[in-house]
């Protein structure tokens, strides 16, 4: 076996943290569909006891996710939001959080509609201005929450710079790495303390499971996360863990194609007369293009665009007319999806925040899948022609 240091990303995705099953030699991690385990003697048992605490299939997935993020510890949860919930439960009443302004709608909702009433205060800022971030820091600031590229505007946050600022003030830094995946960027290498995933998206990759994950390098932080995971119990089942393990084995192959297809779609939309603006970090006129080149391996499979006729009706008309792109929530699966953030993913974000983030009425979000890119372009072409 190669040592961990020698492994490149694709090899780590397939082998990282994994061994053939100890009892049978099974190459694929078995689905340990059990809640409990036989103990040999009272009080002296070492190993698995109860599946909320530890399950071999989940354990394998947690180690694999840690390996692809380049850290020591992973923890899986019943959804991405359950993973975010676990991070917030590390805080105390009176603590303050600074977060990227155009966050995933659900993250915004858990911050403002659940944790605010437990006495935690949230501040939102674009994060392209480091001074504005620093001005929000006070002695109560305990966590800086980043999302990059953002959803749905694909704005970039300079992970290394914000993490350095957090470190200077002794604040925990966390990055929602759902859009980029560790194939495109590894936040821990840029200084992040906690990496969060909605594994529902690219890690699972096949739109067949809902799951969340955290990855950390610090032992004490990991112990605190495992304590919360076991005490509050939002764990995923072994079957779902198996599905995500299987998904991750092709993460690097899928991501290459997602990026290549997104480029074809972005360049097509960029030249279309009905399109007002295209937001994809790979376009040279994207405000985060240079930063994306620095901190990401490629530019990702998510993009959004607005129409010259900036109305919700125009957007609704378009999303009704696509045949390959399916109108649906979620992202990161092999199939292409189309959505209207204002009425779907971001309906829970207050209008004021939405407008400040540039989410206009006609904004359309694409999760570009790994179908043949010519079919994707032709599909959008015919949908844009229909009025
Ligand atoms: C989907 C998503 C989440 C929430 O994850 P769930 O698995 O749906 O709970 C969080 N952040 C981002 C960026 C997402 O896309």
Q: What is the pLDDT along the chain (387 residues), one digit of tens a residue?
A: 445 566 999 999 999 999 999 999 999 999 999 999 999 888 888 889 999 999 999 999 999 999 999 999 999 999 999 999 999 999 999 999 999 998 888 999 999 999 999 999 999 998 999 999 999 999 999 999 999 999 899 999 999 999 999 999 999 999 999 999 999 999 999 999 999 999 999 999 999 999 999 999 999 999 999 999 999 999 999 999 999 999 999 999 999 999 999 999 999 999 999 999 999 999 999 999 999 999 999 999 999 999 999 999 999 999 999 999 999 999 999 999 999 999 988 887 778 878 888 899 999 999 999 999 999 999 999 999 987
For residue 171, being part of any structural domain is answered with yes
For residue 178, being part of any structural domain is answered with yes
Same domain, 228 and 365: no
Domain boundary (192, 216, 248) is at: 248
SS3 content of the chain, % helix, strand, coil (to 5): 40, 15, 45
Closest CA to 339 of 175, 80, 104, 113: 104
Our mutation pick for probing the ligand 1 site, out of 200, 240, 300, counting the most ligand atoms within 8 A of Cβ, is 200
Same domain, 205 and 259: no
CA 324 to mean position of chain CA atoms: 24
Same domain, 177 and 315: no
Ligand 1 pocket residue status of 288, Cβ below 6 Å: no
Distance (Å, whole) CA 82 – CA 92: 18
For residue 1, being part of any structural domain is answered with no
Determine phi and psi for 214, rounding to 5 degrees. Answer: -125, 145
Same domain, 68 and 41: yes
Domain span at residue 184 reads 9-248
Ligand 1 pocket residue status of 177, Cβ below 6 Å: no
For residue 4, being part of any structural domain is answered with no
201 is catalytic: yes
157-184 as b/e, with b when 16 or more CB fall inside 10 Å? bbbbbbbebbeeeebbbbbbbbbbbbbb
208 is catalytic: no
Domain boundary (248, 279, 303) is at: 248
Ligand 1: which residue has its CA nearest to atom 2? 198
46 is catalytic: no
Residue 317's CATH number: 3.90.1150.10
In sequence order, the β-bridge partners of residue 277 are 306
Question: Measured in angstroms, how far is the CA atom of residue 9 from the centroid of ligand 1?
Answer: 23
Distance (Å, whole) CA 201 – CA 211: 9
Question: Measured in angstroms, how far is the CA atom of residue 27 from the centroid of ligand 1?
Answer: 30
3-state secondary structure of 42: coil
* Intra-chain end-to-end CA distance of the chain, in Å: 59
Ligand 1 pocket residue status of 210, Cβ below 6 Å: yes
- Looking from the CA of residue 332, the nearest atom of ligand 1 is 15
Closest CA to 200 of 213, 191, 219, 217: 213
For residue 163, being part of any structural domain is answered with yes
Q: Read off the tokens for 351.
A: 């209008």
Same domain, 72 and 189: yes
Task: Domain count for the chain, please give it.
Answer: 2
- From the candidates 58, 201, 254, 263, which is the catalytic residue? 201
| Cβ within 8 Å of residue 265, ≥6 positions away | 303, 366, 368, 373, 376, 377, 380
Same domain, 207 and 288: no
| E strand or H helix that includes residue 87 | helix 80-88
50 is catalytic: no
For residue 3, being part of any structural domain is answered with no
Same domain, 238 and 256: no
Question: Measured in angstroms, how far is the CA atom of residue 246 from the centroid of ligand 1?
Answer: 20
352: DSSP letter: H
Domain boundary (216, 248, 280) is at: 248
Question: Measured in angstroms, how far is the CA atom of residue 124 from the centroid of ligand 1?
Answer: 18
Report yes or no: 349 and 108 within 8 Å, Cβ to Cβ: yes
Question: Measured in angstroms, how far is the CA atom of residue 178 from the centroid of ligand 1?
Answer: 7
């Amino acid at each position: 076996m190669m040592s961990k240091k020698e492994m490149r990303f694709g090899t780590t995705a397939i082998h990282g943290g994994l061994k053939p099953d100890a009892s049978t030699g099974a190459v694929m991690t078995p689905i340990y569909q059990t809640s409990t385990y036989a103990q040999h003697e009272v009080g002296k048992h070492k190993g698995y006891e109860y599946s909320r605490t530890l399950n071999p299939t989940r354990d394998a997935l947690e180690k694999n996710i840690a390996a692809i993020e380049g850290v020591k510890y992973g923890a899986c949860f019943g959804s991405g939001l359950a993973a975010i919930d676990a991070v917030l439960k590390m805080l105390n009443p009176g603590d303050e959080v600074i977060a990227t302004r155009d966050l995933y709608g659900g993250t915004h909702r858990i911050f403002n509609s659940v944790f605010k009433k437990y006495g935690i205060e949230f501040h939102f800022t674009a994060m392209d201005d480091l001074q504005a971030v620093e001005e929000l820091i006070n002695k109560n600031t305990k966590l800086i929450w980043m999302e990059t590229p953002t959803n749905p505007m694909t704005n970039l946050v300079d992970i290394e710079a914000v993490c350095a600022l957090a470190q200077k003030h002794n604040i925990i830094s966390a990055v929602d790495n759902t859009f980029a995946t560790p194939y495109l960027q590894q936040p821990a290498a840029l200084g992040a303390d906690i990496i969060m995933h909605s594994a529902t998206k690219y890690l699972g990759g096949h739109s067949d499971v809902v799951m969340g994950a955290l990855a950390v390098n610090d032992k004490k932080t990991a112990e605190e996360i495992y304590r919360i995971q076991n005490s509050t119990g939002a764990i995923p089942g072994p079957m779902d863990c198996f599905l995500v393990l299987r998904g991750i084995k092709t993460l690097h192959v899928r991501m290459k194609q997602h990026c290549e297809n997104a480029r074809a779609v972005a360049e097509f939309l960029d030249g279309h007369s009905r399109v007002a603006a295209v937001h994809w970090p790979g376009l040279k006129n994207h405000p985060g293009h240079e930063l994306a080149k620095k901190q990401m391996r490629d530019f990702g499979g998510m993009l959004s665009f607005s129409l010259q006729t900036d109305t919700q009706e125009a957007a609704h008309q378009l999303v009704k007319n696509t045949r390959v792109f399916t109108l649906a929530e979620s992202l990161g699966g092999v199939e292409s999806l189309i959505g209207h953030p204002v009425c779907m993913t971001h309906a829970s974000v207050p209008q004021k925040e939405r407008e400040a983030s540039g989410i206009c009425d006609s904004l359309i979000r694409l999760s570009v899948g790994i179908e043949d890119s010519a079919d994707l372009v032709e599909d959008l072409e015919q949908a844009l022609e229909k009025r």
